[in-house]
C-alpha cells in the first residue's frame, strides 16, 4: 500500500490515495472495526472525542479494550486495570455496554451483506468478505477496492465508527493487511510481493502457528518466516508432518481457505496468557468478565447462542485443564457465562497450582434464530 500526499481523489478530494499494481484485481477483504467498544462510546459521547477511553472493569478488573490515545500510552487489552490507570491516569474508564455494541455491530454486518453475500463473521466487529465474480455482488461496475472504500465511508457515516480494510488475494494476506494501517486504514498485500513481505516477519504471524509450535520452531532455530521459505514444503512436511506442509504454503502467502458465510460453528472462545503465573483465585476470576464479553459479542455477531460453558486453564508447566457445564437456558449474554465459569474456576483455583493461561468458551453453540428456548436473549447481563 502507498499513499501519495501530492495527489487527491478526483471524486472526493481525499489525500488518502492507495496505489498498488494489483489493487483492482484483488477480491478478498478483511474488515475490522477500530477499537470498536471505545469507538462506540466516543460516538455516543462527543465530549470524549479527544480523551483516552478505556472500556473494562473497575480498579481491580482488567481492560476489555481501549482507544488509540490510550494505546499510545501503553494500555492493552487484558491488562490489569490498576496498571492501565498507572500508564494513563487521565483516561476515562467505562463499563462495557454490550447491547449498544451489538446494535452497532449488526448494522455494520448488514452493510457488509449489502455489498456481497459472501461475508464470514469472525466476531461482532470483524469479518472476511469475498467480492469476486462468483459472489454475485450487486454492483459489478466498480472494482472490489472501490466498493470497499465506499463501505468504509458508509460505515463511518451511518454507524459513526471507523473500520480498517485489508485487501489481498486470500484470507491470510487480507487479515495481515488490515492490521498494517490502523486506524481508518486501507492496506493491500498482493500476490507478487507476499513472499518478500513475509520473509522478515516472526513465524507467529502465520495462521496455525500457536505458542507451542512457535516454541518448537524456535528450538530448531527457526524464528522468521523467511527461514521456512528457504526450507521448502517437502523439508517442512518431513520435519513437522501435516502442520509443516500447511505452514509452508502460508509462509509464501498462499491460503486455500474460502470465505464461508454459512460455516457451522461448534464453539466460540477467548483466552488470555498471563504476564506472570497466577495462583490466586480472585485474580484469576477478574479475568473472566472481559473474556465472557468477547465471547458474548462473537455469539451475538454470529447469531448464535451458547448451551454450555467451557473453562480452560493451562498450568505453569503447560498442562491444559478443561472443565465444562451445561447452561440452564441458551444465551448470548455475558452474565450467565461468567457465573458458570466462576463456579468451574472455584473448584480448580485452590491456590495449589499456578496457571499461565485462562480461557472461556461457549460450547456447544447453535443458531439463535427462531429459538423459543432462549428467554434471556434480551434480558439483563
Domains annotated for the chain, with CATH where assigned, are 28-34+99-188 (3.30.70.270), 36-97 (3.40.1170.60), 197-251 (1.10.150.20), 268-367 (3.30.1490.100)
Looking at residue 379, what is its pLDDT?
Answer: 32
70 touches 56 (CB < 8 A): no
Distance CA 203, CA 214 (A): 7
Residues 33, 108: contact at Cβ < 8 Å?
yes
Tens digits of residue pLDDT in 294-335: 899 888 877 789 999 999 999 988 788 999 999 999 999 999
Ranges of beta strands (E only) in 37-172 are 53-56, 63-66, 92-94, 119-123, 126-130, 163-168
Distance CA 269, CA 360 (A): 6
Cβ atoms of 50 and 180 within 8 Å: the answer is no
Cell of 251: 509462509
**What is d(CA 37, CA 113) in angstroms, rounded to the nearest whole number?**
22
| pLDDT of 127 above 70 | yes
Task: Provide the 10 A C-beta neighbour count for residue 160.
Answer: 14
> Does residue 137 surpass a pLDDT of 90?
no
CA angle in degrees (0–180, nearest 5) for 259-112-33: 95
What number is the average pLDDT over the span 243-272? 87
How many helical (H) and strand (E) elements, i.e. helices and strands, does the chain have? 13, 13
147, 184 Cβ separation under 8 angstroms: no
10 Å CB burial of residue 195 (0-12, 13-18, 19+) is middle
Mean pLDDT (the chain) is 88
Q: Express each pLDDT in 22-70 by its tens digit.
A: 999 999 999 999 999 999 999 999 999 999 999 987 555 778 899 999 9
**Distances in Å between the alpha carbon of 280 and those of 143, 203, 349, 356?**
54, 33, 7, 12
Going by C-alpha positions, the residue among 65, 186, 194 that lies closest to residue 123 is 65
| 3-state DSSP assignment of residue 175 | helix
CA angle 358, 304, 167 (to 5 degrees): 80
Which cell goes with 274? Answer: 498471563
In this structure, the number of other CB atoms found within 10 A of the CB of residue 263 comes to 11
pLDDT digits (tens, 9 = 90+) for 201-254: 999 999 888 888 899 999 999 999 999 999 999 999 999 998 999 999 999 999
pTM: 0.73
According to the model, what pLDDT value does residue 134 have?
75
> Which cell numbers hold the place of 3?
499513499
Which residues participate in the annotated binding site? 32, 125
Sheet hosting strand 119-123, strand order edge to edge: 119-123, 126-130, 28-33, 163-168, 186-188
Catalytic center residues: 126
Q: Is residue 182 pLDDT above 60, yes or no?
A: yes
Q: What residues are designated binding site for Mg(2+)?
A: 32, 125
Question: Pairing mode, if any, of strands 355-362 and 304-315?
Answer: antiparallel
Span 253-263, average pLDDT:
87
What pLDDT sits at residue 139? 55
Amino acid at each position: 500500500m502507498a499513499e501519495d500526499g501530492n495527489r487527491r481523489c478526483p471524486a472526493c478530494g481525499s489525500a488518502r490515495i492507495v496505489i498498488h499494481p494489483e489493487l483492482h484485481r484483488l477480491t478478498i477483504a478483511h474488515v475490522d472495526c477500530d477499537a470498536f467498544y471505545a469507538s462506540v462510546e466516543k460516538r455516543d459521547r462527543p465530549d470524549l472525542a479527544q480523551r483516552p477511553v478505556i472500556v473494562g472493569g473497575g480498579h481491580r478488573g482488567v481492560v476489555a479494550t481501549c482507544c488509540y490515545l490510550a494505546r499510545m500510552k501503553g494500555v492493552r487489552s487484558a491488562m490489569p486495570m490498576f496498571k492501565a490507570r498507572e500508564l494513563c491516569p487521565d483516561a476515562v474508564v467505562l463499563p462495557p455496554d454490550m447491547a449498544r455494541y451489538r446494535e452497532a455491530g449488526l448494522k455494520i454486518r448488514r452493510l457488509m451483506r449489502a455489498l456481497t453475500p459472501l461475508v464470514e463473521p469472525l466476531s461482532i466487529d470483524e469479518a472476511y468478505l469475498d467480492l469476486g465474480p462468483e459472489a454475485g455482488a450487486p454492483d459489478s461496475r466498480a472494482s472490489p477496492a472501490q466498493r470497499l472504500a465506499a463501505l468504509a465511508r458508509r460505515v463511518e457515516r451511518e454507524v459513526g465508527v471507523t473500520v480498517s480494510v485489508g485487501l489481498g488475494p486470500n484470507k491470510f494476506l487480507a487479515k495481515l493487511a488490515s492490521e498494517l494501517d490502523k486506524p481508518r486504514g486501507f492496506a493491500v498485500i498482493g500476490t507478487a510481493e507476499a513472499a518478500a513481505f513475509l520473509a522478515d516477519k516472526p513465524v507467529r504471524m502465520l495462521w496455525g502457528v500457536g505458542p507451542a509450535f512457535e516454541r518448537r520452531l524456535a528450538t530448531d532455530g527457526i524464528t522468521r518466516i523467511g527461514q521456512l521459505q528457504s526450507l521448502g514444503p517437502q523439508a517442512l512436511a518431513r520435519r513437522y508432518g501435516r502442520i509443516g506442509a500447511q505452514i509452508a504454503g502460508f509462509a509464501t502467502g498462499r491460503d486455500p481457505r474460502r470465505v464461508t458465510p454459512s460455516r457451522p460453528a461448534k464453539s466460540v472462545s477467548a483466552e488470555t496468557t498471563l504476564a506472570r503465573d497466577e495462583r490466586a483465585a480472585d485474580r484469576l476470576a477478574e479475568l473472566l468478565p472481559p473474556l465472557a464479553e468477547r465471547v458474548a459479542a462473537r455469539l451475538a455477531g454470529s447469531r448464535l447462542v451458547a448451551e454450555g460453558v467451557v473453562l480452560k486453564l493451562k498450568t505453569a508447566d503447560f498442562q491444559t485443564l478443561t472443565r465444562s457445564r451445561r447452561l440452564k437456558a441458551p444465551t448470548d449474554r455475558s452474565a450467565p457465562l461468567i457465573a458458570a465459569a466462576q463456579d468451574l474456576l472455584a473448584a480448580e483455583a485452590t491456590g495449589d497450582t499456578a496457571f499461565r493461561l485462562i480461557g472461556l468458551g461457549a460450547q456447544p453453540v447453535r443458531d439463535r434464530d427462531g429459538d423459543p428456548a432462549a428467554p434471556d436473549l434480551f434480558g439483563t447481563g
